[in-house]
Amino acid sequence: MSERSSRLKGFYELPPAQRQEVLAAWAGLDAEDRRALDGGLDLAAADRLVENAVGLYTLPFAIAPNFIVNGAELLLPLVIEEPSVVAAMANAARLARAGGGFQTGSTEPVMIGQVQLLDVPDPAAAAASILAAKEALLAQVETLHPTIRRLGGGPRDLVVRRLDDTPAGPMLIVHLLLDTRDAMGANAVNTAVEALAPALEALSGGRALLRILSNLSDERRAWAGCRIPAAAFAGPEDTGEAVASGICVANAFAVADPYRAATHNKGIFNGIDAVALATGQDWRAIEAGAHAYAARSGQYRSLTEWSLDGDTLVGRLELPLAVGTVGGMTKHHPTARLALKVLGNPDARRLAEIMAAAGLAQNLAALRALAAEGIQAGHMALHARRDQK
Active-site residue list? 82, 266, 282, 379
Query: Which CB atom, from 228 or from 367, has the smaller least distance to ligand MEV?
Result: 367
Tell me the site size for ligand MEV, rule CB under 6 A.
9
Under the binding rule (CB under 6 A), the answer on residue 173 touching ligand MEV is no
Q: How far is CA 145 from CA 54, 88, 189, 255, in A?
A: 35, 42, 10, 41
Expressed in angstroms, the distance from the first to the final Cα of the chain is 39
Query: Which CB atom, from 89 or from 366, has the smaller least distance to ligand MEV?
Result: 366
Q: Of 71-79, 184-192, 258-266, 306-314, which part binds ligand MEV (CB under 6 A)? A: 258-266
Instruction: Give dist(CA 240, CA 233) in Å, integer.
Output: 4
Site string for ligand MEV, 66-85 (x = CB under 6 A): ----------------x---
Give the shortest CB-51-to-ligand MEV separation in angstroms.
32
Q: Which residue is nearest to ligand MEV (CB)?
A: 267
Give the one residue of 267, 271, 328, 346 binding ligand MEV; rule: CB under 6 A.
267
Instruction: Give dist(CA 163, CA 172) in Å, integer.
Output: 6
Q: Of 126-134, 163-171, 266-274, 275-283, which part binds ligand MEV (CB under 6 A)? A: 266-274
Please enumerate in sequence order all residues whose Cβ is within 8 A of that of 310, keeping only pairs 6 or more positions apart, or say none: none
Under the binding rule (CB under 6 A), the answer on residue 366 touching ligand MEV is yes
Give the one residue of 58, 263, 299, 345 binding ligand MEV; rule: CB under 6 A.
263
Please enumerate in sequence order all residues whose Cβ is within 8 A of that of 325, keeping only pairs 6 or more positions apart, or say none: 182, 279, 340, 345, 346, 347, 348, 351
Q: Of 151-159, 160-168, 265-273, 290-298, which part binds ligand MEV (CB under 6 A)? A: 265-273
Under the binding rule (CB under 6 A), the answer on residue 264 touching ligand MEV is yes
Give the one residue of 37, 72, 308, 375 binding ligand MEV; rule: CB under 6 A.
375
Give the shortest CB-268-to-ligand MEV separation in angstroms.
8
CB 35 within 8 A of CB 83: no
Query: Which CB atom, from 217 or from 251, has the smaller least distance to ligand MEV?
Result: 251
Give the one residue of 6, 270, 325, 335 binding ligand MEV; rule: CB under 6 A.
270
Instruction: Give dist(CA 302, CA 150) in Å, integer.
Output: 38
Q: Of 129-137, 204-212, 213-221, 262-270, which part binds ligand MEV (CB under 6 A)? A: 262-270
Query: Which CB atom, from 81 or from 164, has the smaller least distance to ligand MEV?
Result: 81
Site string for ligand MEV, 308-347 (x = CB under 6 A): ----------------------------------------
**Positions in the binding site for ligand MEV (CB under 6 A):** 82, 263-264, 266-267, 270, 366, 370, 375
